[in-house]
Amino acid sequence: MGRLLAIDYGRVRSGIAVTDPLKITATALTTVPSGQLETFLRDYLGREQVDKVIVGLPRNLDGSPSESQRYLRPALGRLRKAFPAMEFEMYDERFTSVIAHRAMINSGMKRSERRRRENVDMMAACIILNDYLESLRFA
């Protein structure tokens, strides 16, 4: 039984989160420069069994595609081509950055740590993955 891996894709860097092998809990893993995402995935998928990659789908509040999708779609196409056996699923990521900031505040994280975009990106990937897991439980 493999893990699920989530990507919060950004033009500069991408947050990564994974589940445990039983797919019960999501944990923030790391951030990766987006240009090195394929290399990171090749290494990680070589070490860990992953059943599916969940990619945050950026949308506007009204559900329409956000401007960020114009960067995400080509990058996702390259990943699908590089890993043809891997299933990639897009999942709505609206509000994840806001929720990530709020979660960091509620956890007592210092302001200097909350300002580090890497922490926000990792937390956003974790929230995407947790939301995805919840959607499976209530489907």
Residue-wise pLDDT for 37-91, tens only, equals 999 999 999 999 999 999 998 877 777 777 778 888 999 999 999 999 999 999 9
CB 6 within 8 A of CB 126: yes
Q: Is 27 exposed, middle or buried (0-12, 13-18, 19+ CB in 10 A)?
A: middle
d(CA 129, CA 40): 18
The domains found in the chain, sorted by start residue, are: 3-137 (3.30.420.140)
First to last CA, the chain: 21
Which pTM was predicted?
0.85
Which residues have a Cβ under 8 Å from the Cβ of 115 and sit 6 or more positions away?
none
